[in-house]
Structure formats: structure tokens, C-alpha cells
Structure 1
């Protein structure tokens, strides 16, 4: 009928602009009146939406009319039988009969939601928007008679209590009992996912301004909204909670809401806004003498400062938080601050201090019986050991953390730790184990319906497959991850996986595609304000351009990347770019500049304490010196690289350097030394199960042996 009326109105007012008609229909207050035409349809019925609805309404019984009127008070898109029972203050059985009768009268339409929802939640009931306007008009006209305000309070009570019950299953801490409203975490998640739009609408409805739901729903939904990456919903709810507390003069509540808002803004990568609101929260809490809560806000502020690579400020902020906790004898809070301080120290590459911080935190958590945070500290400790290339200790720390999460039933956190463990296994070239570990993490995320976590696991799986030279599988894994990140709206993570995908395509010779992806990734990082990773994408672009024999463009890309590293103060990343920069300069025979680039890289890695990076720079510098036919210098530099790799215990890279040294020694016609170097390289590769590399080394040894015999015959 609505379409018939609009058609008739447009036919009668042919010269009226469509924009005017659309504007009239957009006004909810006048929409029903606008949907009226002086005439009848083919059956002689008046062409007026309101008249049609009134006819249906008059045929309802008194209880049905009351239900119809009150249903318009429900915010959101639809309502379950259980929620309607709270709204109408009747039993679910009675309410279902009423709702079914309204559906038969074509005033409601019903759908059934599959899944593990509790009884009374599967059936969903909704109104067409025009019918809702009519019901809302009647509802306000009969508001006193129906006790509409009281009904709205009952519905808000129901939504708040049920959301809080669901949250107990998501937090799942041993010290907090699980609500029996839901039988499992999956059921709680299913309900939250089904009701999300309604819950957000309820929390932001005018009636919620004077109801606890206006503030408390933001806390009850925080973990769900963050885990499921509904960041804008979380920001909306926490911002409203802060505004409500501010209006009522409750400063402590305002600061708490600002603290949660800062976390939501951080997860949405709106770092500047997060820093601003967290600073406000800390100031309010300091002025009101809420020391422990101030420390909590400072802790969160420090984490955001770390995200924008302001590590010195982050360390100072976490130290301030730790001092407050220590002065108030809050050992648990102190341990949290120590864990976060360790993360900031890791960013500064002050590894020994970071290890001390994480170990101290883990000890306190163990003593206070907080197994969850003990596992968090152990996981952070493992990541620090990885940076120091103390792989055995890293593996032990991650495994201990994973065991705790497994024993406490925290699957989501277990998946996160398994991802980190897989990364360490990849570094020690235990690629099959790494892939299996990432697959295990992906399965956990899939079972817990965490698509974002699944995509992270797929990304890491792709990196391990890349190292095994299973490039097609690596490309598939990265493409699947990119699709998920795109579908979940995580532009930043999409950029990261596109960068990895570009590297995999580069290795298969699909260089133009690789360059396009690195350009796309760089654009994403520029858009999201992550200049550090923008530099990484530009560096990878340079690698692909070098492979494509476009050295001038590669050098230009590296120059941009180096500028970004200097602007962001990331000296370590600058060293990595300089290694690739030196290779591009070598391809255009600019040997002196290449050697200078490697000298700068070596100096940077020495200052930052990265012995592996130093060794890699020396190795590549040796190759340039060989190309420049400065063999004695090349041999000396390569021997330094080999010594470093022996010291760090990285047998595979040591084998590569020995093989390179053998080639240089052969070129310098020092064949006995060359053979010895290649044989040592082969032995290293054999121990690392590097069959292909072992064959290459043995082949090089055979070539050196033939050249030695030829030299002897010539003598």
C-alpha cells in the first residue's frame, strides 16, 4: 500500500522535486500523515497507511492492543520472546501467544534464530518501520494507562542483568562464579551477538540516561565488543557513560568511563584521542585522591604511548603507576605495571631490564595466585627472549603460559600464546612444528568464533610456509587472512598481511603484483598513521624493485624508508633498511656507497645490541667487497660474521656465511681454505636438516677441489 500511495502522490504532483518528497518521508513525525492519498484502491479501500493500521488495531483485544503499543518502546531492530516478557511484565508463554496473534494480524513479523540461544531467545519479533511509528504514536497517547515508563525500566533491567550474566562467561576468571543464565561461553556469545544492536540502542535510548544501563552496559559489553572488534559501539557506549557521570557530578565514575573509553579508542587505533582521554582520567583521579585507580589509568596511558613508539614516556608512566601501587601495598597492581613497563623496555631494546620486569611480575602473580596475569607476564617474557634470540628460554616461557591458559579454560588467550610460540619455532627453523602450532591457534580461534584471531594465525602460518618455500600455500594463507581482515574492518592488519603477501609473491617471481601490494600496504599504513610500518612496506617495495632490475626506483624507496625510520626514531629498523639499500647500490656498481651503507648498519646494530643484525650486515658487506674484488677485506669481514653467528648459536646462518666465505676464498684462489669452509657449511646444514643447502655447500666444495687440482696441474 505504501508504494501505491507514493506512486499516486508522484503522479498527481509531477513537477514536485523528488528531493522534497523524500525529505517529507524522512521526517518520522510527519511520515504517517504524508502516506495518505485522497482516493481508493481497486477494492475500494482508502489509500491511507494510518487508516489501514487503525482498522487492524481496532480488531485487536485489549491485551493485544496494550502489547502492540508497548512493543514500540523496545529499542533496536527486533525483540525476543524473553525480552518482550520483561517489557510486558508477563510470562514468556503468555507473551508468545500475544506476539503470535499480532503476527497473524500482520502487525508483526517473526523470524527464528538458529544457534545455542537459551529458551525464549530463538523467536525474534519485529515491526515494519511505519507500523512502529503508528504503535509509538498510540504508545505515547496511552503512556499513563500502560505505565510505559515502568515498562521501559523493566526492559532495561532485563538487558543489563542478562548482559552482565553473559560477561561472566567471557571473563571466565577462577575467582568469579559463572552466571547460570547461560550454560556455556558459546551460548553467552551467541546471545550477545544476537542482541548487540538492541543492547547498544537500549544503552543510548533517552530512558537510559536516568537508568543504570546508560552507564553499566558499557562495562558489561566492553570485553565482547572489543573481542569481536565492534570498536565504534564500544566508543559510543563509554563516551555516553562518561557524559552521564559528568552531568551528575560523579567524578570518579567519569574517570572510570574515560579510562574505558581510552582503551576502546586504542583498539580502534585512534591513539591521539586515547592519550587525551586517558590523561584526563588520570588527572581527575589524582585530584580526587583515587591513587590506585589513577595508577590503572596511567598503566593504560603507558600502553598507548608504547603504541605510538614514545617508549621513554611509556616507561616513565608505568614506573609512576608502579610507585603508586607500591605505596598503597597493591602488589597485584604493581605486577601489572611491571609487565607493561617490560613491554616498553622491549620497545627501547633494553632487554635485560625488560626480562627483570617480566620475571618480577610473574613471581608476584604466582605468589598472589593470579594465574591469568602470571601467564600474561610469561608470554611477554617469551617475546623478550625471542628478541635476544634466546630461543630455548622463549619456547619454555610461551609453553608455560599456554599451559596455564589451557588449565584455566581461557582458550582465547591460549590461542594468542600459541601464535607467539609458533613464531619462535619458525625462528629456530622448526617449520613443521611452527605450522602445526599456528594451525592449533587457528582452530581455537575458529571454535571461539574469533575471526580476527584466526586471521592472525593464518598470517603466521603463511610466514612459516614461506620459510619452507611452499610459496603457493603461503600465498593462500595470506589471502585468506587478508579477506578476513577486510571483512572485519581491520584496515591496519590488512595492510600487514598484504605486505607479507607481497613478499611471498616476490619470491615466486610475481614482482609486479608484489610491488602493487607493497604500495597498497604503504598507503594503508599512511592512512592509519603507522609510519613505522609504512617504512617497512617501502623497504619491501625496494626489495621487489631490485629483483625486477629497477634499482633507481628501489633506491628511491629505500631513501623514503630511511627517512621514516629517522623521523620515528627507530634505529633498528633503519639498520634493516640499510642492508637492503646496500644490495640495491651494489647492483648499479656503486660499491663505495654500498659499503658505507653496511658500515652504518653495523654501527646501528652494535649500538642497539642486535648481534644477529650485525652479523647479517657484515655478511652482505662481504659480498659487496667480493664484487669490488677486495677479497682480503671480504674474507676478514665474513670471518667476523661467522664468529657472531657461532656466538649466537644460529647454525643455519653460520652455514650460509661459511658457504659465502668459501666462494670468496675460491675466487682468491685459496682453494684449501675454501674447501674447508664449504665442508664446515655442509656439516652445519646437515645438523639443521637443511638438505638442499647441504647439497649446495658440497657442490661448491667439489668445484673448489677441481679448481685446486687444475691449479696443481698448471704448476
Structure 2
């Protein structure tokens, strides 16, 4: 480099500002400030390609000073997600594309100590660019002006790591068209996108396969191959968070003779997980510490909301459930959730739905236990589970008419979703399915026995509608235990009746009979006429599934008498429909036709379209047995139309099976096969034993 440092930059006052020019023949030093990269960097291929696409390519335009704008890209994501690692890895890969240097600053936006001030960073950059300390202006605006002037018409990569906000970095942005500013932050840099046209790259957790490759690269192929299941479990326990995976890997290689299964055991223990991932001896690489830097920067209301989310037993949460959890309005909690998403403590999953990974949930729960009284946590959990109870009950009432348990003993939340149709109710049920089953388990685990039996009771119709037999059985068994702990005989009887339904679906007829008889016995002891009616219905079904037709006929006829005595037309239609099914199975086709037609008329009057669809399937089967193929096809087609309109998969599969049998009788074997294949696919998705029946048709 020719000339002295003092020759490099000359300055003089111009209209109250500073004008800078370079001495002839002088050259600026070329800074190379990037920290060392990670040797075993894994994955992020799509993000690397997105960054590659940002590099300014028109070097000639830069050289001649043609107009242009600096390229700005912001890498955003949660603590420990690998933002800095990605930025530095990519910067090393492309530094040859920036011949005039690379500048790097850790802005300490989240971490111990105060965030870096713009003047502090500019002072370091200017020194790196060859400006003598005595020539650095005192005024911040003048420092920024000198910085931009030095980078004008040059190709420099500027990495601004760990920024807290757009305001912290605006004066640090170069202005030359050949420069690229790469920013990492836990905050959503919306301001940069709006004002500077920045490109956003939002990092997610590593895909599972990439996370396995990453951990394997740390612990070595030999140990990974020796314990593949332990390796997989460690990846799950680390929530696919790169920082956690690196810590887990480091702990494994520090103990080369210790099986990975030991580390897995520590990580699968919810109470030990954060401790295991935080004992690094370095606060900057401890999971609990990096989470804390984000958490402690929150205003008190947002901090309380985040803590409360740790109490949620599921993966995703919507605005209604979050409002119930904190006892707030949906509008107020929506703002809070969006603010938490802006700093990546939670992530948007879909409109008005958010998720947080297991490690952040564990940290939130830890803070709730530390900062909130036990009574307050218990109240929050009760409000949340009460919300799921009332929302499930509202969805179930939209889906189908049935005898149901009261939810009056649990306070209703202020805000509930509304369901206009059975289809919207079932869409909600599918979205919330994991949360509803988790809420049911949580109520049992926390000893909230009233909720533990009422939640499955509210879900009975939805489970039946969706055909989720395995989870339905587990929910009923849990509800039965809770009812017995409470000593609530009505709750026990209701739950036994629900259990009969799932046992029948699982083709366990003897257990269904035993359970149904126990329910009827309790109804008699309670002298509960409506309870007796419900038990008679399920007894008839159970006996019929066990081929005990005389007992079934007796139960159905007694249910018909009690229904008329209580002036309950819906129950009357249920009894008629089941009598029709029994006659149908015995070959009494005229009696079956009469019962089904009467049942269908009542279901139409009371508006139970779902059960009207089932009766139509029954009518189709009767007409098929009478060799009235035209009428049989009409009934099954009507049932299929109802099933599609209601979004009712089990009814749809039954109607498709009926149409398949109809086509087979008519000699259209290819058409029959197509319908049976569709039916079998649905039954298999639902885990229903009816898939075996349809498979038998296909093999015939």
C-alpha cells in the first residue's frame, strides 16, 4: 500500500457536513473480520442457495458508479436455531466474491451486557478500513457518512450478527451497490423490509434427517451405527435445534466410553433436559442461557403469556385457547402472540395458530413454576382444559344429535369458536385433534377428575364421526378411571355406554356386552330413566354384535317403549334403526324396510342428517338383499352425498362399500373394485377393522 495512513483519507468541512476523498495512489486496507466457521456444517441447502442469489454480480456497474442499492438480507429465527452459524459459513464460502473485504460485528442484541451502540461498531469498522483514530469524527452521523463514503463503489460483505432491532443497524448499512449487508436476529426485521427492501430468510428447526446427519457427524459413525435408536431419540429430545444437538454431541464425545443410551435417558427426562443441555461451562452456548436472553427482554405481559404457553400440553395453540389460558380477550392475546412470534419465541403455524418446540416449552414451564404461584398455574390450566371441553361440546353438537353429558359444572370461557356446519366442526376437530387428546391426558395426570371424564365424554361423537378407535378407547378408559375416583355413578354409567361403542367398532363383542350390562345395572340403581334409555340402546347394540339376537330385540323394543314414554323422537328413531339392522341381519327384510323407513323420516324431521345417512346405507343393503339394485344404488348414493357434505369419513366408506357390492351384483366388477379400494383406504386411515371386511370383498 502506497502512502501513509494519514494520506489515505483527507477531510474538510463542507456545508456543515464532512466531505472525504482518497489521496491519489493510496489504497484502503482490506479487512477480513469473519470469525472461524463450523467444520462440520450440515444442511441448510435451500437457505444457502437463497443467499447465493443475493450476491451483486455486475462488477462493471460498481466500477463505473452506476446507480444501485446495497443488497440487505436478514436471517431470522429462534435462539439456537443456527443463524450465526449459517451466516458465517456462507460468508466464508463467498468472501472471494467481495475483494474489498469482509466486516463483522456482534451487536449483542440478545446476550449478556448491553447491546452494541452504533458508534462503537462504526469506530471499529472505520479503524479496520484504515482511518486513524484521530481522524474518526465525534458525531455519530459523521461517522456513518465516512463509513458509507469509504465503501462507495467497493465490494464489501458486512455481517451484522445478533441484532436486536432495525434501529440498531440502520447506520451500519453500507450504501454502495456492490456491497451486501447480512444481518442475523431473533427479531423479525419488518422495518428493514419496508424501508430498505431487505430480503428475509427465516430459519426453521432442522429437518429430522439433517439433524441426524449433524449429530452423527459429531459423535462419529461408529457410535451412531452402534446405537441408532438412541441417536434418533436424542435428536427428538433436542427438538432438532442445532445448538442443542451440538451440546448433546459434545457431551457424548466427552464421554467416549459411555453409551449414547445414557445421554438419551437424561434428555428424555423432562426435568433434567434443560440442565443436561446447559452444563457447557460457557453461558453463550448453554440452551437455558440463550433462551433467557430472549425471555428477559420481553415486557411483563408478553413474558407472562410465554410462561403460560409452557403449561399447554399440546404442540400448537390457537388464539382462543391462548385467551383462555391467560384469561384475556382474543384481540389482546393475538397481539401478544404476534409479538412473541416477532422475536421467534413461538412460530406461526397457520393463520391464528402458533407453535413452540419442546425445549422452549420446557423453558416456559420452568419460568412459570419459578415466577407464578401454584394456584395461578392451576387456574390457568383449568381455564385451558375448560375451553377445550366447551369447544369440543360445541363442535360435537354441530356434528350430530345424541344423548350427551352436561358440561355445566365447568365454567364456560368468554370466547369460543363458532361452527356453522358439521364440516367446519370436523375441520376444527382435525386441527385440534392432538391438543384434545393431550388435554384429556393432562386432566387425568393432573388429577382434575371432573374434566378427565367430561373431556372424553364431549369428544365421543367426534371420535365416532372420525373413526379414531384407538384414541377413543384410551380416552374412555381414562374417563372411566376418573369417574370411579370421583365416585360419580352417573359419570361412570355414561362412560361405560361410550366404551361400548368403541368396543363394538373394535370387534370385541363379549367385552361390549359385559360393559353394557354394567351400565344398565348402574342406571337401575340410580333410578335414572334417561340413563336407562341410553343403556338400553347400547345393550341392544352389544347383544347384536355378539349375535345374541333375542336379547338384542328385547333391548331395542324396551328402548322404543321408554323413548315414546319420555316423548323423545330422536331416541325412538335410534331404536327403530337398530331394530331394522337386527331384522336385516336375520333376513326379515320387510320388517327391516319398515323400521328403516320410519327411522329415516324421524331423523329428517329432527335434523340428524348424519344418522339419516346411516339409515340410507341400511335401506340400500335391504334393497340389495331384495335384488332391487336400482333402489339400492339410489340409497347408497344419497348416503355418499350426505357423507361428503358433512365431511364424515366413516359414513363415506360405508356408502362406498355398499355401492361396490351393488356394482358387483350387477356384474360391473371393475367399478366394484374401484369403490371398494376407496372404502378400504378410508377404513385403513381410520384404523377400523372394517378394512378387513372390504379386503375380503376384493379377494372374492
Give the TM-score taking structure 1 as reference length. Answer: 0.57
Counterpart of 1:22 (choices 256, 264, 272) is 264
Instruction: Provide the C-alpha distance between the structure 2 equivalents of 1:310 and 1:388, rounded to a whole number of angstroms.
Output: 11
Query: Which residue of the partner structure matches residue 420 of structure 2?
Result: 183
Q: Is the 8 A contact 2:637 2:655 kept in 1?
A: yes
Deviation of residue 147 (structure 1)? Answer: 2.1
Instruction: Provide the C-alpha distance between the structure 2 equivalents of 1:165 and 1:474, rounded to a whole number of angstroms.
Output: 38
Runs (4+) off by over 6 Å: 173-177, 387-390
Deviation of residue 158 (structure 1)? Answer: 2.0
SS of alignment partner, residue 285 of structure 2 = strand
Instruction: Provide the C-alpha distance between the structure 1 equivalents of 2:612 and 2:495, rounded to a whole number of angstroms.
Output: 29
| Greater alpha carbon shift after TM alignment, 429-438 vs 413-422 | 429-438
Query: Which residue of the partner structure matches residue 292 of structure 2?
Result: 54
Q: Is the 8 A contact 2:423 2:645 kept in 1?
A: no
| Alignment CA distance shift 1:16-1:235 (3 Å) | same
Query: Which residue of the partner structure matches residue 115 of structure 1?
Result: none
Instruction: Provide the C-alpha distance between the structure 2 equivalents of 1:16 and 1:139, rounded to a whole number of angstroms.
Output: 34
Query: Which residue of the partner structure matches residue 445 of structure 1?
Result: 643
Instruction: Provide the C-alpha distance between the structure 1 equivalents of 2:478 and 2:633, rounded to a whole number of angstroms.
Output: 44
More contact order relative to length (CA 8 Å, sep ≥ 6)? 2
Instruction: Provide the C-alpha distance between the structure 2 equivalents of 1:126 and 1:233, rounded to a whole number of angstroms.
Output: 23
Matches within 5 A, 1:152-551: 152-172=381-401, 181-206=418-443, 209-210=447-448, 212-286=450-524, 293=531, 296-297=534-535, 300-312=538-550, 314-315=551-552, 319=554, 336-338=556-558, 361=560, 370-380=568-578, 382-383=580-581, 395=593, 397-490=595-688, 492-503=689-700
Is 1:138 the equivalent of 2:138? no
Counterpart of 1:100 (choices 338, 350, 374) is 338
Instruction: Provide the C-alpha distance between the structure 2 equivalents of 1:381 and 1:290, rounded to a whole number of angstroms.
Output: 23
Query: Which residue of the partner structure matches residue 538 of structure 1?
Result: none
| Alignment CA distance shift 1:408-1:243 (3 Å) | same
Deviation of residue 32 (structure 1)? Answer: 0.9
Q: Is the 8 A contact 1:66 1:146 kept in 2?
A: no
| Alignment CA distance shift 1:486-1:305 (3 Å) | same
SS of alignment partner, residue 349 of structure 2 = strand
SS of alignment partner, residue 420 of structure 1 = helix
Instruction: Provide the C-alpha distance between the structure 1 equivalents of 2:507 and 2:674, rounded to a whole number of angstroms.
Output: 27
Deviation of residue 457 (structure 1)? Answer: 1.2
Deviation of residue 146 (structure 1)? Answer: 8.7
Q: Deviation per CA, 1:100-159, whole angstroms, max 9, x where unpaired? A: 1111222111111xxxxxxxxx51122110111111111111121992222222222322
Q: Is the 8 A contact 2:393 2:458 kept in 1?
A: yes
Query: Which residue of the partner structure matches residue 510 of structure 1?
Result: none
Q: Deviation per CA, 1:162-194, whole angstroms, max 9, x where unpaired? A: 2222232233479999x9943333333322332
| Alignment CA distance shift 1:450-1:462 (3 Å) | same
Residue segments in structure 2 that go unaligned for 5+ positions in a row: 1-242, 407-415
Instruction: Provide the C-alpha distance between the structure 2 equivalents of 1:367 and 1:272, rounded to a whole number of angstroms.
Output: 30
Instruction: Provide the C-alpha distance between the structure 2 equivalents of 1:416 and 1:499, rounded to a whole number of angstroms.
Output: 22
| Alignment CA distance shift 1:48-1:210 (3 Å) | same
Instruction: Provide the C-alpha distance between the structure 2 equivalents of 1:415 and 1:243, rounded to a whole number of angstroms.
Output: 34
Instruction: Provide the C-alpha distance between the structure 2 equivalents of 1:35 and 1:144, rounded to a whole number of angstroms.
Output: 26
Q: Deviation per CA, 1:252-277, whole angstroms, max 9, x where unpaired? A: 43333333333333333333433444
Q: Is the 8 A contact 1:425 1:431 kept in 2?
A: yes
| Greater alpha carbon shift after TM alignment, 458-467 vs 289-298 | 289-298
Query: Which residue of the partner structure matches residue 326 of structure 2?
Result: 88
Query: Which residue of the partner structure matches residue 145 of structure 2?
Result: none
Residue segments in structure 1 that go unaligned for 5+ positions in a row: 113-121, 322-335, 340-360, 504-715
| Alignment CA distance shift 1:55-1:159 (3 Å) | same
Bigger strand share: 2
Query: Which residue of the partner structure matches residue 568 of structure 1?
Result: none
Q: Deviation per CA, 1:367-405, whole angstroms, max 9, x where unpaired? A: 865443444454456556657877667556544433433
Instruction: Provide the C-alpha distance between the structure 2 equivalents of 1:456 and 1:374, rounded to a whole number of angstroms.
Output: 23
Q: Is the 8 A contact 2:663 2:669 kept in 1?
A: yes
| Alignment CA distance shift 1:168-1:176 (3 Å) | farther
Deviation of residue 288 (structure 1)? Answer: 5.5
Q: Is the 8 A contact 1:143 1:149 kept in 2?
A: no
Q: How many residues align?
A: 449
Instruction: Provide the C-alpha distance between the structure 2 equivalents of 1:229 and 1:424, rounded to a whole number of angstroms.
Output: 24
Instruction: Provide the C-alpha distance between the structure 1 equivalents of 2:405 and 2:492, rounded to a whole number of angstroms.
Output: 25
Deviation of residue 211 (structure 1)? Answer: 6.0
